[in-house]
Amino acid sequence: MGLLSAADAEKVGRLFQDMPRSVTLRLYTQRLNCEGCLDTERILDELAGLSDKVKLEKLNALTDTDRREADAVEFVPAFIVSGANDRVRFYGTPSGYEFSTLLTLITDAGAGIAAAGPDVDALVSALNRDLRIRVFVTPTCPHCPRAAVAAARLAAASPGIRAEIVEAEEFPALSMRYSVQGVPRTVVEDRLFFEGAVPETVFAKALTAALPFLSEPGAEVRDLLSFLEPDA
Protein backbone atom coordinates (compact mmCIF):
# COMPACT_ATOMS: atom_id res chain seq x y z
CA MET A 1 0.00 0.00 0.00
CA GLY A 2 1.32 3.44 -0.93
CA LEU A 3 1.73 6.39 1.40
CA LEU A 4 -0.55 8.53 -0.76
CA SER A 5 -4.16 7.81 -1.61
CA ALA A 6 -4.87 7.08 -5.26
CA ALA A 7 -6.38 10.53 -5.71
CA ASP A 8 -3.46 12.32 -4.06
CA ALA A 9 -0.95 10.26 -6.03
CA GLU A 10 -2.68 11.29 -9.26
CA LYS A 11 -2.60 14.99 -8.28
CA VAL A 12 1.08 14.88 -7.33
CA GLY A 13 1.94 12.95 -10.47
CA ARG A 14 0.27 15.61 -12.64
CA LEU A 15 2.09 18.32 -10.68
CA PHE A 16 5.42 16.67 -11.41
CA GLN A 17 4.59 15.97 -15.03
CA ASP A 18 3.86 19.66 -15.62
CA MET A 19 7.37 20.67 -14.50
CA PRO A 20 9.49 22.00 -17.38
CA ARG A 21 12.63 20.35 -15.99
CA SER A 22 13.49 16.96 -14.56
CA VAL A 23 14.66 16.70 -10.96
CA THR A 24 16.98 14.13 -9.43
CA LEU A 25 16.87 13.26 -5.74
CA ARG A 26 20.25 11.97 -4.56
CA LEU A 27 19.54 9.86 -1.50
CA TYR A 28 22.20 8.80 1.00
CA THR A 29 21.30 6.01 3.43
CA GLN A 30 22.88 3.16 5.33
CA ARG A 31 21.36 -0.02 6.68
CA LEU A 32 22.85 0.16 10.17
CA ASN A 33 22.39 2.88 12.79
CA CYS A 34 19.96 4.94 10.74
CA GLU A 35 16.44 4.87 12.12
CA GLY A 36 14.92 7.06 9.42
CA CYS A 37 16.70 5.66 6.36
CA LEU A 38 14.11 3.08 5.33
CA ASP A 39 11.16 5.46 5.75
CA THR A 40 12.94 8.19 3.78
CA GLU A 41 13.76 5.77 0.99
CA ARG A 42 10.16 4.57 0.89
CA ILE A 43 8.83 8.13 0.60
CA LEU A 44 11.23 9.09 -2.19
CA ASP A 45 10.64 5.80 -4.01
CA GLU A 46 6.92 6.47 -4.10
CA LEU A 47 7.33 10.03 -5.39
CA ALA A 48 9.82 8.97 -8.06
CA GLY A 49 7.31 6.37 -9.24
CA LEU A 50 4.68 9.02 -9.96
CA SER A 51 6.45 10.71 -12.87
CA ASP A 52 9.43 10.26 -15.15
CA LYS A 53 10.28 13.90 -14.36
CA VAL A 54 11.46 12.83 -10.86
CA LYS A 55 14.42 10.49 -10.71
CA LEU A 56 15.90 8.87 -7.60
CA GLU A 57 19.57 8.03 -7.27
CA LYS A 58 20.37 5.85 -4.26
CA LEU A 59 23.81 6.00 -2.68
CA ASN A 60 25.30 4.13 0.26
CA ALA A 61 26.76 6.58 2.75
CA LEU A 62 29.32 4.01 3.92
CA THR A 63 30.62 2.83 0.56
CA ASP A 64 29.99 5.73 -1.84
CA THR A 65 32.43 7.84 0.13
CA ASP A 66 33.79 9.86 -2.79
CA ARG A 67 30.30 10.97 -3.80
CA ARG A 68 29.37 11.67 -0.20
CA GLU A 69 32.46 13.81 0.29
CA ALA A 70 31.85 15.68 -2.95
CA ASP A 71 28.26 16.36 -1.87
CA ALA A 72 29.39 17.38 1.63
CA VAL A 73 26.81 15.09 3.24
CA GLU A 74 27.39 14.88 6.99
CA PHE A 75 24.47 12.79 8.25
CA VAL A 76 22.00 10.14 7.13
CA PRO A 77 19.36 9.89 5.94
CA ALA A 78 20.05 12.76 3.58
CA PHE A 79 18.92 13.75 0.14
CA ILE A 80 19.91 16.50 -2.25
CA VAL A 81 17.37 18.09 -4.54
CA SER A 82 19.24 18.37 -7.83
CA GLY A 83 17.53 20.48 -10.45
CA ALA A 84 18.46 24.09 -11.01
CA ASN A 85 21.19 23.66 -8.37
CA ASP A 86 22.59 21.21 -5.85
CA ARG A 87 22.65 23.55 -2.88
CA VAL A 88 19.67 22.22 -0.92
CA ARG A 89 20.07 19.28 1.47
CA PHE A 90 17.45 17.64 3.67
CA TYR A 91 18.64 15.65 6.68
CA GLY A 92 16.05 13.32 8.16
CA THR A 93 12.69 11.90 7.16
CA PRO A 94 10.37 14.26 5.19
CA SER A 95 7.18 13.20 6.95
CA GLY A 96 4.24 15.11 8.41
CA TYR A 97 4.30 18.78 7.46
CA GLU A 98 7.76 18.29 5.98
CA PHE A 99 6.24 16.22 3.20
CA SER A 100 4.86 19.50 1.83
CA THR A 101 8.38 20.95 2.05
CA LEU A 102 9.64 18.04 -0.03
CA LEU A 103 6.98 18.59 -2.68
CA THR A 104 7.81 22.30 -2.86
CA LEU A 105 11.55 21.63 -3.14
CA ILE A 106 10.90 19.27 -6.04
CA THR A 107 8.49 21.54 -7.90
CA ASP A 108 10.66 24.62 -7.34
CA ALA A 109 13.68 22.79 -8.76
CA GLY A 110 11.61 21.46 -11.63
CA ALA A 111 10.39 24.95 -12.47
CA GLY A 112 13.72 26.67 -11.87
CA ILE A 113 12.14 28.87 -9.20
CA ALA A 114 14.33 31.05 -6.99
CA ALA A 115 13.52 33.86 -4.61
CA ALA A 116 13.20 37.15 -6.50
CA GLY A 117 12.87 40.83 -5.75
CA PRO A 118 15.13 43.77 -4.93
CA ASP A 119 15.98 42.54 -1.42
CA VAL A 120 17.15 39.19 -2.76
CA ASP A 121 19.06 40.85 -5.60
CA ALA A 122 20.77 43.12 -3.05
CA LEU A 123 21.83 40.11 -0.99
CA VAL A 124 23.22 38.29 -4.02
CA SER A 125 25.17 41.42 -5.06
CA ALA A 126 26.54 42.06 -1.57
CA LEU A 127 27.42 38.46 -0.75
CA ASN A 128 31.20 38.17 -0.65
CA ARG A 129 31.47 34.84 1.14
CA ASP A 130 29.78 31.45 1.25
CA LEU A 131 26.97 31.01 3.75
CA ARG A 132 25.45 27.89 5.24
CA ILE A 133 21.89 28.18 6.48
CA ARG A 134 20.50 25.42 8.68
CA VAL A 135 16.77 25.26 9.37
CA PHE A 136 15.67 22.93 12.15
CA VAL A 137 12.18 21.51 11.68
CA THR A 138 9.88 18.78 12.98
CA PRO A 139 7.08 16.85 11.26
CA THR A 140 4.44 18.31 13.59
CA CYS A 141 5.34 21.98 13.04
CA PRO A 142 2.94 23.77 10.64
CA HIS A 143 5.23 26.81 10.31
CA CYS A 144 8.39 24.86 9.49
CA PRO A 145 7.78 24.37 5.76
CA ARG A 146 7.66 28.13 5.23
CA ALA A 147 11.03 28.60 6.95
CA ALA A 148 12.59 25.66 5.13
CA VAL A 149 11.39 26.80 1.71
CA ALA A 150 12.58 30.38 2.34
CA ALA A 151 16.11 29.14 3.01
CA ALA A 152 15.99 26.83 0.00
CA ARG A 153 14.88 29.63 -2.31
CA LEU A 154 17.68 31.89 -1.13
CA ALA A 155 20.10 29.07 -1.90
CA ALA A 156 18.56 28.75 -5.36
CA ALA A 157 19.06 32.49 -5.92
CA SER A 158 22.73 32.60 -4.93
CA PRO A 159 25.61 30.21 -5.66
CA GLY A 160 27.19 31.30 -2.37
CA ILE A 161 24.38 29.98 -0.16
CA ARG A 162 23.78 26.38 0.87
CA ALA A 163 20.57 25.44 2.68
CA GLU A 164 20.32 22.46 5.00
CA ILE A 165 16.95 21.42 6.41
CA VAL A 166 17.41 19.31 9.54
CA GLU A 167 14.72 17.20 11.18
CA ALA A 168 15.52 18.20 14.76
CA GLU A 169 14.18 15.11 16.53
CA GLU A 170 16.26 12.73 14.40
CA PHE A 171 19.49 14.55 15.20
CA PRO A 172 19.26 15.42 18.92
CA ALA A 173 23.00 16.05 19.36
CA LEU A 174 22.98 18.61 16.55
CA SER A 175 19.81 20.19 17.90
CA MET A 176 21.41 20.49 21.33
CA ARG A 177 24.54 22.03 19.82
CA TYR A 178 22.43 24.78 18.24
CA SER A 179 20.17 25.26 21.28
CA VAL A 180 17.05 24.20 19.45
CA GLN A 181 14.20 24.48 21.92
CA GLY A 182 11.51 25.48 19.46
CA VAL A 183 11.05 25.13 15.71
CA PRO A 184 11.50 26.38 13.15
CA ARG A 185 14.91 27.62 14.21
CA THR A 186 17.21 29.00 11.54
CA VAL A 187 20.97 29.23 12.08
CA VAL A 188 23.38 31.04 9.75
CA GLU A 189 27.09 30.28 9.98
CA ASP A 190 26.77 29.32 13.65
CA ARG A 191 26.58 33.02 14.60
CA LEU A 192 23.13 34.20 13.61
CA PHE A 193 19.77 32.68 14.46
CA PHE A 194 16.07 33.36 14.60
CA GLU A 195 12.95 31.38 15.44
CA GLY A 196 9.79 31.37 13.40
CA ALA A 197 9.21 31.85 9.69
CA VAL A 198 9.72 34.99 7.61
CA PRO A 199 9.37 35.63 3.85
CA GLU A 200 12.44 35.24 1.64
CA THR A 201 12.57 39.00 1.11
CA VAL A 202 12.73 39.75 4.84
CA PHE A 203 15.28 36.98 5.33
CA ALA A 204 17.41 38.42 2.51
CA LYS A 205 17.21 41.97 3.87
CA ALA A 206 18.32 40.84 7.34
CA LEU A 207 21.17 38.76 5.91
CA THR A 208 22.41 41.66 3.81
CA ALA A 209 22.48 43.92 6.86
CA ALA A 210 24.28 41.22 8.88
CA LEU A 211 27.08 40.50 6.38
CA PRO A 212 29.54 43.00 7.97
CA PHE A 213 28.95 41.31 11.34
CA LEU A 214 29.74 37.90 9.86
CA SER A 215 33.03 39.29 8.52
CA GLU A 216 34.13 40.35 11.99
CA PRO A 217 36.22 37.92 14.05
CA GLY A 218 34.72 36.57 17.23
CA ALA A 219 32.21 34.06 18.51
CA GLU A 220 29.34 36.38 19.43
CA VAL A 221 25.91 34.98 18.55
CA ARG A 222 23.09 37.34 17.60
CA ASP A 223 19.47 37.27 16.54
CA LEU A 224 19.48 37.78 12.78
CA LEU A 225 16.25 39.75 12.81
CA SER A 226 17.81 42.33 15.14
CA PHE A 227 19.67 43.64 12.07
CA LEU A 228 16.41 44.76 10.48
CA GLU A 229 15.24 48.34 10.64
CA PRO A 230 12.24 48.75 12.98
CA ASP A 231 9.83 49.25 10.07
CA ALA A 232 11.13 46.23 8.07
Three-state secondary structure call for residue 174: helix
Nearest to 151 by CA among 91, 68, 93: 91
Q: What is the CATH number of the domain that holds 130?
A: 3.40.30.10
One domain for residues 202 and 128 = yes
Identify the domain boundary among 87, 111, 135: 111
One domain for residues 199 and 215 = yes
Residue 232 lies in a domain: no
One domain for residues 130 and 200 = yes
Cβ-contact 149, 101 below 8 angstroms: yes
Domain that holds residue 124: 118-227
Q: DSSP class of residue 168?
A: G
What are the E-state strand segments in 113-153?
131-137
Q: 136 vs 63, 151, 224, CA distance in Å? A: 28, 11, 15
Q: Tell me the DSSP string of 44-110.
A: HHHHHTT-TTEEEEEEETTT-HHHHHHHT--SSSEEEEESS-S-EEEES---TTHHHHHHHHHHHHH
Task: Classify residue 176 by burial, with Cβ atoms within 10 Å: 0-12, 13-18, 19+.
Answer: exposed
Domain count, the chain: 2
- Tens place of pLDDT per residue across the chain (232 aa): 578 999 999 999 999 999 999 999 999 999 999 989 999 999 999 999 999 999 999 999 999 999 999 999 999 999 999 875 789 999 999 999 999 999 999 999 999 877 778 999 999 999 989 999 999 999 999 999 999 999 999 999 998 999 999 999 999 999 999 999 999 999 999 999 999 999 999 999 999 999 999 988 877 899 999 999 875 5
One domain for residues 222 and 128 = yes
* pTM of the predicted structure, to 2 decimals: 0.94
Residue 216 lies in a domain: yes
